[in-house]
Amino acid sequence: MLVDLIGVRLNGDLVGEREFTFNLTITDRDELWVVGIEHGALHFTEGRHAPDPDFAIAVSHFAFAQLASGIVTPETADPGDLAVTGNRAALDDLFAMLDTFDASFAIVTPE
């Protein structure tokens, strides 16, 4: 579900024609994911890694939840919580293409 959240936050207009693939490992749950971005959209498959990703992330579930929700960025995450291999610039580009939503909007306003 957290990978879905990144897909929701992904700004397709900013992505444009960029394509890249990254491997995600949730270290404390032994989860493997391959995540790709093509045609302005995110797609993913659980249970495997791509053989030649642009970058790879190894992170705990809690730290990934913070990243996916926008609480932290790769730059502000605790370095002990996030291990990145490969093209770090592609990871930074990904997070630059994510929208941030205001969760404090009024659902119902009094008249």
pLDDT tens for 17-41 read 889 999 999 999 999 999 999 988 9
55-74 per-position pLDDT tens digit:
999 999 999 999 999 999 88
Place 87 in a pLDDT band, splitting at 50, 70 and 90.
very high
Paired sense of beta strands 41-46 and 55-59, if any: unpaired
At 87, list the tokens.
């093209």
At 63, list the tokens.
């730290």
Place 93 in a pLDDT band, splitting at 50, 70 and 90.
very high
Tell me the pLDDT of the chain averaged across its residues.
91
Place 4 in a pLDDT band, splitting at 50, 70 and 90.
confident
Paired sense of beta strands 20-26 and 55-59, if any: parallel
SS3 label, residue 53: coil
Closest to 57 in 3D by CA, of 37, 39, 81, 38: 81
